[in-house]
């Protein structure tokens, strides 16, 4: 089983996991915090959302 990972590209984030592949258009999404994306554009559960946020925060360290 593969771990979740995050690839940052321009102008999209590509968020991949064993069960989800999502593309977020950063020009249409609203950034309310440096690491927080409004997830009303995505249909994912809160646990996956927390993993995404944790990954974004960890990448900046």
**pLDDT of 52-61, one tens digit each?**
666 665 544 4
Strand-by-strand arrangement of the 21-25 sheet: 5-8, 12-16, 21-25
In order, the DSSP letters of the chain are: -PPPEEEE-SSEEEEE-SS-EEEEETTTS-EEETTEE-GGG----HHHHHHHHHHHHHHH-
Whole-angstrom Cα distance, residue 61 to residue 35? Answer: 12
pTM of the model: 0.22
**pLDDT of 21-47, one tens digit each?**
444 444 444 444 444 444 444 445 566
Do 37 and 29 form a contact (C-beta atoms < 8 A)? yes
């Amino acid at each position: 089983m593969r771990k979740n990972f995050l690839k940052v590209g321009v102008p999209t984030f590509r968020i991949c996991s064993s069960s989800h592949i999502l593309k977020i258009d950063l020009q249409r999404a609203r950034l309310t915090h440096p690491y927080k994306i409004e997830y009303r554009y995505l249909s994912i559960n809160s646990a996956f959302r927390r993993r995404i946020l944790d990954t974004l925060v960890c990448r900046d360290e």
